Amino acid sequence: MSSAAWASGHRGPLTVNDDFAVLDDPFEQEAFTAVVDEDDPRRESVLVVQGMFCAACADAVEAALDGVPGVDAAQVNAASRRLRVRWNPAYTTLSALARRVGDHGYRLLPLQQALSLDERWRESRLALWRLFVAGFCMMQVMMFAWPAYVADPGDIPPDIDQLLRWASWVLSVPVVFFASGPFFAQAWADLRRRRIGMDTPVALGIAVTFLASSAATFDPSGPWGHEVWFDSLTMFVAFLLGGRYLEARLRERTAGALDALMNRLPAAVVRELADGRTETISARRLRVGDVVRVAAGEAFPGDGVLLDQGATVDEALLTGESRACTRSRGEGVIAGSLNLGGVVRVRVDRLGADTRFAQIVRLMEQAATDKPRLAVLADRIAAPFLVLVMLAAFAAGWAWWQVDPSRALAIAVAVLIVTCPCALSLATPAAMLASAGALARRGVLVRRLQAFEAMAGVNAVVFDKTGTLTQDRLELAGVRLRSGAERDAVLAQAAALARDSLHPVARAIAAAATADPTVRWHSLQERAGQGVEARDAQGRCWRLGSALFAGAMPEHDADGPRSYLADEQGWLATFEFREAVREDARDAVNRLRAQGIRTWVLSGDRASAARRVAQAVGVDEVIAEASPEHKLTQLQALQARGWRVAMVGDGLNDGPVLAWAEASFAIGRAAPLAQARSDVVVQSGRLLDVVDTIERARLTLRVVRQNLAWAAAYNAVCVPLALIGWMPPWLAGLGMALSSLLVIANAWRLNADR
């Protein structure tokens, strides 16, 4: 049973009408539909389009929804087969939109159902059957055609020759009417809308070749002559289907990386009832406060609190950290993370759109439905190019009819087949989706595919300081002591006072102590805003905190926080702190410099603090004491000087500069919705991931250019060969299939983790 059927309570196989009803189910819509704005009645849904075979199908689906009342926008990404539609429930329903798309030969499905095993198996099995029929019949037809190639004129008796023709015709019928079904279905859908799609020349070539060969078989003395092309027909259909099958498999492994990450939540869960009994229900029937049992290897269905003693979880999707982490009773677990140990009980606190996982999925879906500028340009080129293809084929056929009528049809068909611009339309989205999938597995979420083009061209990186180059904690920078005091002993004493406090200064002291603080205190108290006070076993009073609290002389020109330790004799030590610089910051800056990228620190902090951090990590220049408005002005000034800037910030208070920069990175684990201005969300907080993303963007653009160059070179070489008659239809079909396959395979290289 598919996941959609389970979630809707169906107990049998889904029909098309069932699927339409599922799309309108409020419980189901929670998984793929979001509210545009609280004051806006419109909804935005992301669905999978089933039945797409090439890039032209994206335009077909968009055209089917264009102008429909209640539909504000519809965008389809050909490589990921994802539709993003913004619609108004006051004027239409998703089921009505699905019916309209279904009338054009496609099927809209929720992501989880589209990726369920039975749906994928059925689609793959049908494609294999078509390929098997075409391949088997092709081999048999070639056996029947082979004598005509090797025999001398007159060697084959006319009755045997006609028998071989009839046998070839019989074997070509299933190839045309079954194996070629996707080509004809899409071509017919395009013609009904009075447009030429990428399958139109293919279907026309198959139909013309079959009809002309059939006419020559039925009436060898008729106007079409006695030449038949059943061998070429079956061969190029087999090659095209084989290429598309391999292309689909490769595309599943590239763009499918996003699907695998977004499909982590279970379709069904085990809920624990008040009396201790359990029941299996749809995950979308869960409610806040429910207790669920999660088995080993399963994902947590929502954000919640662990009720058992402990659990080992994998949060790689959310943090980019590949190592497993441990959670104890009462600690939180996150939806989408995996339980690596035994069965654990979890109380669900947040579900659906409220979870961090849902926010991540929305970012990834936006990337999966984004259509890059280069892809839009390629699609615009492809549409008029197809018209030229049709005209060129007819012109070639007419010209050769004047010279050699026996070759005119084969050359016209070869031109139709060889010039189909599938590779051109797949060149850009395939490469960018492959890179986005590989980055997503590392916890780097690309919100816009167009950002790859911008990131590849940057020559300057501007870092925010606090929360970006530095961590959200302090570290001990220095200790000044009273005469005669020993540093380690004093630090251990201070750590003993600080060990139970959550204040950042106290935590930094506790972390810096090398000796184990074994002091036992009496009447230890923490005074809010002042510090910690306690008495030791001898009754002596100790204080750790502000200068006033410890009775020390305050230092007004201090660069960074200070804390003071005092005993009954007065001031004992001053602890100096600084922001902890991220461990990988210097390595990240050095790698950027090695690529010829200049770096800046853009901070609202004091100049001395900003320069100290910049020197620690090796940043080239510093702009400090800048308000949010001044930050934007400084960024615009850099751009006016010719710098193409990537801004790296924490995503919370850097919205204007993140939005204005050519490319932008939001660092850390703040809610993705708070990072809506950024192009890339780096959940791990690692600055080296920023560098890796820029490097991958450059590699991605190189692959895109390779794909576009290959598509252009392929047409530049093969079209003349087809026009002069040196490329028969079967070779044209092989060339077209290999062209698209090469583009996808080249993009597949980007799917590897680097």
Cβ atoms of 338 and 313 closer than 8 Å:
yes
The Cα 180–Cα 238 span in angstroms is 9
The helix (H) or strand (E) run that includes residue 460 is: strand 460-463
The pLDDT, as a whole number, for residue 627 is 74
Cβ atoms of 394 and 412 closer than 8 Å:
yes
Give the pair of three-digit tokens for residue 544: 């750790």
Question: Which residues are catalytically annotated?
Answer: 464
The Cα 459–Cα 210 span in angstroms is 57
Residues in contact with 685: Cβ distance below 8 Å, sequence separation at least 6, in sequence order? 582, 667, 668, 669
pLDDT along the chain (754 residues), means of 10: 32 40 73 75 84 71 86 79 86 88 81 55 80 90 81 78 89 92 82 73 81 83 70 78 67 53 72 85 81 86 86 68 71 83 86 73 56 54 66 81 77 74 68 80 79 89 85 82 88 86 81 72 78 85 87 68 88 86 90 93 82 89 82 88 89 70 79 61 86 92 86 81 78 72 79 63
The Cα 198–Cα 417 span in angstroms is 10
Cβ atoms of 651 and 666 closer than 8 Å:
yes
The pLDDT, as a whole number, for residue 1 is 30
The Cα 509–Cα 501 span in angstroms is 10
DSSP string, 341-389: SS-EEEEEEE-GGGSHHHHHHHHHHHHHH---HHHHHHHHHHHHHHHHH
Residues in contact with 314: Cβ distance below 8 Å, sequence separation at least 6, in sequence order? 324, 325, 337, 338, 340
Residues in contact with 350: Cβ distance below 8 Å, sequence separation at least 6, in sequence order? 288, 302, 303, 304, 335
SS3 of residue 449 by DSSP: coil
Cβ atoms of 203 and 184 closer than 8 Å:
yes
Cβ atoms of 619 and 649 closer than 8 Å:
no
Nearest to 329 by CA among 318, 344, 341: 344
Output the CA–CA distances (angstroms, integers) from residue 30 to 99, 291, 313, 339, 352, in the order listed: 21, 20, 26, 24, 7
HSE (CB half, 13 Å, CA atoms) of 410?
Answer: 22
Residue 623 DSSP label: E
Cβ atoms of 438 and 625 closer than 8 Å:
no
Phi and psi at residue 9, to the nearest 5°? 90, 5
The Cα 508–Cα 518 span in angstroms is 18
SS3 of residue 553 by DSSP: coil
The pLDDT, as a whole number, for residue 673 is 43
Burial level of 334, CB count in 10 A (0-12/13-18/19+)?
Answer: buried
Give strand ranges (E) for 210-300: 268-272, 278-282, 291-294
Give the pair of three-digit tokens for residue 90: 């006051």
Long-range contacts (CB closer than 8 Å, 24 or more residues apart) made by 491-498: 491/515, 491/573, 492/516, 492/517, 492/519, 493/517, 493/519, 493/542, 493/565, 494/544, 494/565, 494/573, 494/575, 496/521, 497/521, 497/524, 497/532, 497/534, 497/542, 497/544, 497/565, 498/532, 498/544
The Cα 474–Cα 337 span in angstroms is 30
Residues in contact with 32: Cβ distance below 8 Å, sequence separation at least 6, in sequence order? 45, 46, 47, 110, 111
Computed from CA positions of residues 592, 598, 599, 602, in that sequence, does the dihedral angle turn out positive or negative? negative
Amino acid, single-letter form, for residue 394? F
The pLDDT, as a whole number, for residue 133 is 93
The Cα 285–Cα 302 span in angstroms is 12
The Cα 120–Cα 246 span in angstroms is 15
SS3 of residue 660 by DSSP: helix
The pLDDT, as a whole number, for residue 18 is 45
Amino acid, single-letter form, for residue 139? M
- Please, what are the domains in the chain? 287-350 (2.70.150.10), 432-470+582-699 (3.40.50.1000), 472-580 (3.40.1110.10)
Cβ atoms of 446 and 439 closer than 8 Å:
yes
Q: Which stretches of 485-584 are DSSP H helices?
A: 487-498, 504-512, 547-550
The Cα 151–Cα 158 span in angstroms is 13
